[in-house]
Amino acid sequence: MNKTVQRLLMFCMAVPLVVIVGLLPYKNHLVMNMVIVILCAIGAAELGVFFRKKGVDIPLVETVVLGSLIPGAMALFSSFHINEDFLFGLMILAAIWIVVSRVFCKGAKLKYALEYMGAGFATLLYPGFFMSWIIRMTRWQYAAFVIIVFLLMVISNDSAAWAFGLLFGKNNRGIIPASPNKSIAGYVGGLAASMLIGLCVAVFFPQILESMRYPAIPAIASGIFIGFVTGVTASLGDLAESVMKRSADMKDSGYIIPGRGGVLDSIDSIALAAPVFFVVYWFFFT
């Protein structure tokens, strides 16, 4: 199966999956929350492989626990109304563990203790901390629609960037060293797609983009703006993961998803865009 067919199949499967998962409202979208926790655990395990390729021996079990800790606590907070202080308590305990767990190591492990601590904190934050902001969105009014809009903005950005790059990117590639196969045409096409999603939402579902703090701002302007911000950060998320892979001398983060590679290869854009989308939407529309 060639790469073009793989990308088309992934897009065709992603859209209905987003709609189905997003519209399961039980316990503030418990099913979606659990899916995110699982993805974060796998993504953290893949990140651990990057570190091991660089000589930082962070155990697999530890990467999985650290990677799923924050989204798991956020899921408990969102779906079962566990006190939010529980989340902060877990983060403090995890941070303490990362700092003190190499106190009794010796030899080569002691020599690389500082690198280990950096890897531990990175695994705690990426992708789990970033993805947890999607779980936090489930407490909003119109949560299902807002989450679907966010995911469609990111998915359309990725798909349009690939299509525009394929069609118009022949002579404008190699601008960004971290991802030399990506083209300016692709980035422009992806950004336009995210903004188009925002525009369509403003036209057909204006109540989702009615600004409580700034009622004078028209829904169309709001939709285009949030689409622009989401599109930019989604592209940066893809580039950031490309930097990680190049640093570890790896082509893909894994092989679990046909046509995409690993979990990180599929959620990199979503992870970085999630907290930015959350902050912008929270500031203007809640």
The predicted-structure confidence for 19-76, as pLDDT tens digits, reads as follows 666 667 778 888 889 989 999 999 999 999 999 999 888 899 999 999 999 999 999 9
Answer for the pair 11, 159: CB distance below 8 angstroms, yes or no.
yes
Domain coverage including residue 99: 3-285
Query: CA-to-CA distance for 203 and 194, rounded, in angstroms?
Result: 15
For the chain, how many structural domains are there in total? 1
Query: CA-to-CA distance for 34 and 256, rounded, in angstroms?
Result: 18
Residue 1's pLDDT is what?
46
- Return the residue matching tokens 């531990």: 120
Backbone φ and ψ of 257, nearest 5°: -115, 115
Stretches in the chain below the pLDDT threshold 50: 1
Summarised one tens digit per residue, pLDDT across range 161-187 is 988 998 898 888 878 888 888 889 999
Backbone φ and ψ of 83, nearest 5°: -55, 135
Residue 238's pLDDT is what?
92
| Cα 86–Cα 270–Cα 186 angle in degrees, nearest 5 | 165
Residue 20's pLDDT is what?
60
